[in-house]
Amino acid sequence: GAGVSQTPSNKVTEKGKYVELRCDPISGHTALYWYRQSLGQGPEFLIYFQGTGAADDSGLPNDRFFAVRPEGSVSTLKIQRTERGDSAVYLCASSLNAADTGELFFGEGSRLTVL
């Protein structure tokens, strides 16, 4: 596609529920990143993939968070037993190749609200 696409753009859920957020990166980009942005804050790193494998998942806050990228393209961020503190905008970004640091192309984000 022309840019990074994220769905849903908005998700409202109840505490304790399970959510999935999807990211479709720019075609041909092998590196994919997930960030979380709370109101008035900078993006906070969660995880990044080089191809199908998670190269660095040290930013995931706890074991309720998990992400996959089974075919090296689309990625899904999964959050179990959501808590109110999980409310934020979840940003996905892709780049041509993580080994050659360059511009990250961000999606518009998925705004998650946990009631």
Partner 1 sequence: GENVEQHPSTLSVQEGDSAVIKCTYSDSASNYFPWYKQELGKRPQLIIDIRSNVGEKKDQRIAVTLNKTAKHFSLHITETQPEDSAVYFCAATKTSGSRLTFGEGTQLTVNP
Binding-site ranges for partner 1 (CB under 8 A) = 4, 31, 33, 40-45, 48, 50, 55-56, 59, 91, 97-104, 106-109
Cβ 42 to partner 1 shortest distance, Å: 3
Cβ 45 to partner 1 shortest distance, Å: 4
By C-beta, is 16 or 66 nearer to partner 1?
66
Residues 4, 41: Cα–Cα separation, whole Å: 21
Which residues contact residue 55 at a Cβ distance below 8 angstroms, ignoring those fewer than 6 apart? 48, 49, 98
By C-beta, is 37 or 76 nearer to partner 1?
37
Enter the tokens of residue 33: 């990143």
By C-beta, is 16 or 61 nearer to partner 1?
61
Cβ 101 to partner 1 shortest distance, Å: 4
Cβ 48 to partner 1 shortest distance, Å: 6
* Dihedrals phi, psi of 84, to nearest 5 degrees: -60, -30
Instruction: Tell me the pairing of strands 110-114 and 10-13.
Output: parallel
- Angle, vertex CA 104, rays to CA 101 and CA 106, nearest 5: 165
By C-beta, is 4 or 112 nearer to partner 1?
4
